[in-house]
Amino acid sequence: MHSATAFAPASVGNIGVGFDILGHTIDGPGDRARVRRIDAPKVRIAEIRNQTVALPTEAERNTAGAALIALREALALPFGFEVELDKGIPYGSGMGGSAASAVAALVAANALLESPLPHAALYPFALAGEAVASGGYHGDNVGAMLLGGIALATPERVLRVPAPATWHCVLVHPDAALETRRAREALKGAYALTEFVAQSAHLALLLCGCHLGDASLVRAGLADVLIEPRRAPLIPGFARVKQAALDHGALGASISGAGPSVFAWFDSLAAAIAAAPAMRAGFAEAGLASESFVSPVNGPAASLVA
Amino acid sequence: MHSATAFAPASVGNIGVGFDILGHTIDGPGDRARVRRIDAPKVRIAEIRNQTVALPTEAERNTAGAALIALREALALPFGFEVELDKGIPYGSGMGGSAASAVAALVAANALLESPLPHAALYPFALAGEAVASGGYHGDNVGAMLLGGIALATPERVLRVPAPATWHCVLVHPDAALETRRAREALKGAYALTEFVAQSAHLALLLCGCHLGDASLVRAGLADVLIEPRRAPLIPGFARVKQAALDHGALGASISGAGPSVFAWFDSLAAAIAAAPAMRAGFAEAGLASESFVSPVNGPAASLVA
């Protein structure tokens, strides 16, 4: 096989209380990568289609390119890769776009290896790809995309966190971009230990709720008291969108990744479907058009496409 | 029934990475409370035996007394309680002594009610008792004592976290006291977000490891990078004791509660038994006599005694 195409879904980074370490995928939008084996021992970005802003085409500065460079170097591959990307995730949306390009390219390139690796083994290369966009090694988006569903992702490892199939997510993406860099600047400064204790209690409740399938624990835990207060002012309409979700029975709602997209979890598909228009109305009141996605919390993993 | 006696076991507060929210009990040492119903609508501390420092005997300032006052007020009881305490946990040991007195008194008093409550329903009163000793509402010790095993305890709720029966803890108590107040002062100051992200990754790995029974996740997670570096200088010999545990295959080791006791987790009873003398030798090198306890991580809950 000399070329392969893969799809990586969008994802909700952080899941509110798991800053940089928790993420889950969304069924629907995503990025697609077509990767071709080339004789030249290098990685080339041949084309990027449907981009909302101009992304770097030097392989070293492109997340897909950097991921494949890391893969090539680690495996000492004698051949190279040429990549075409079809962006389905808007830039600066908080839906994991930079991660999805890296993961889609890796999954496609992996299929071109003599002995393809399990997805989890691609994690270090996906982290290296993500790092060129964000400047840090956080795997909440790439980890979820590689494994599917909810992932716990640390710099050293990634594992899947179980959750009931009935739990659903609404992700609302307003027609606005927020640069990750700017969203990270809002987090500068010192933190109090009491903030950490409250947030870590919420994180622990969320994780136990997922493992036990206990929605009441998630309802108690899915409340970001550390990051959200510092970033919410960057997102017009955030408070209204969140409140609309809670008014419709959400287990919790917060910022997806670095924003401006907002997500909410529900314990049924019906509740999620009912809440989505109300959440969009919250952005509309702030003058922002938006689109919404309803997905199982256990969203899909990245995969090869025909 | 007009009197009852209960025993509450010692506990490992914080479990390193769950500051103020995680704890587990230890099979062996503990406090005992004998509670008598009295006609007077008040709570009296009649006697405290085997105390290593003089503890408050005004009910309002004693953790057992304050817990029973909270119970009386919440249930609008027409009668009062008189309490005798037998301390089995030394003051300032980091083994949950103040919590154990409160929990033992509550479990005994509960048996004297017309309709005794489930242990989890005693949690708010135990928190109120613990607060008079520590000045804050953290239930890591009382929560574990009420439920047994590992507890996740937030100010609003407590639940048990499962763990394999084969996992064991070594708790080493040096012949030295460290006031919780002084240990808390070492935590003053500002914290960096990066510290919290690292610690929360460890907390998440520990919790997933417990739920999944995966010792490798606990080995990755049971490393306190937030609190331990600030408190370790208060504990002579700490680094040696910890290293001795790790050299004997510990999944991780850290400070029990506010210290100076040190705990380590092992994935077998045999490993724990082998490590205990080496850990004590670490304190001995620092000139401190010590005693050690080996217990399942799933230690007992507080209970009535004949």
Q: How far is B295 from chain A (nearest CA, A)?
A: 24
Residue to substitute from B154, B184, B224, B230, interface A, most A β-carbons within 10 A: B154
B185 in contact with A at a CB cutoff of 8 Å? no
DSSP string over chain A: --EEEEEEEEEEETTTTSTTTEEEEEEEEEEEEEEEEESSSSEEEEEEES-SSPPP-SGGGSHHHHHHHHHHHHHT-SSEEEEEEE--S-TTSSS-HHHHHHHHHHHHHHTTSSSPPPGGGGHHHHHHHHHHHHSS---HHHHHHHH-SEEEE-SS-EEEE---TT-EEEEEEES----HHHHHHTT-S-B-HHHHHHHHHHHHHHHHHHHHT-HHHHHHH---SSSHHHHGGGSTTHHHHHHHHHHTT-SEEEE-TTSS-EEEEESSHHHHHHHHHHHHHHHHHTT--EEEEEEESS-PPPEEE-
Please state which of the four CATH numbers 3.30.230.10, 3.40.120.10, 3.40.1000.10, 3.40.50.80 is assigned to the domain occupying A3-161: 3.30.230.10
Instruction: State the CATH class of domain A168-296.
Output: alpha beta
- Residues of chain A with Cβ-Cβ distance to B212 below 8 Å are 211
Quick check: B19 and A201 CB within 8 A?
A: no
DSSP category for residue B207 = H
Per-residue pLDDT of chain B (306 residues; tens, 9 = 90+): 799 999 999 999 999 999 999 999 999 999 999 999 999 999 999 999 998 888 999 999 999 999 999 999 999 999 999 999 999 999 999 999 999 999 999 999 999 999 999 999 999 999 999 999 887 889 999 999 999 999 999 999 999 999 999 999 999 999 998 887 888 899 998 899 999 999 999 999 999 999 999 999 999 999 999 999 999 999 999 999 999 999 999 999 999 999 999 999 999 999 999 999 999 999 999 999 999 999 999 999 999 998
Q: Which tens digit of pLDDT belongs to each residue from B148-159?
A: 999 999 999 999
pLDDT at A193 (0 to 100): 94
- Considering chain A, tell me which residue range(s) the CATH 3.30.230.10 domain(s) occupy: 3-161
Q: How far is A208 from chain B (nearest CA, A)?
A: 8
Mean pLDDT, range A39-51, rounded to an integer: 96
A201 in contact with B at a CB cutoff of 8 Å? yes
B128 in contact with A at a CB cutoff of 8 Å? no
Q: Which tens digit of pLDDT belongs to each residue from A204-227?
A: 999 999 999 999 999 999 999 999
Quick check: B208 and A159 CB within 8 A?
A: yes
Q: Which tens digit of pLDDT belongs to each residue from B220-272?
A: 999 999 999 999 999 999 999 999 999 999 999 999 999 999 999 999 999 99
**Alpha carbon separation from A170 to A26, A146, B71 (Å, rounded):** 9, 21, 43
B4 in contact with A at a CB cutoff of 8 Å? no
B35 in contact with A at a CB cutoff of 8 Å? no
Quick check: B200 and A19 CB within 8 A?
A: yes
Q: How far is B197 from chain A (nearest CA, A)?
A: 7
Residue to substitute from B15, B197, B202, interface A, most A β-carbons within 10 A: B197
pLDDT at A166 (0 to 100): 98
Give the whole-angstrom CA distance, residue B40 versus residue B78: 8
Quick check: A21 and B200 CB within 8 A?
A: yes
- Considering chain B, tell me which residue range(s) the CATH 3.30.70.890 domain(s) occupy: 168-296
Q: Which tens digit of pLDDT belongs to each residue from A276-298?
A: 999 999 999 999 999 999 999 99
| CB interface of A with B, residues 155-184, below 8 Å | 155-157, 159, 161
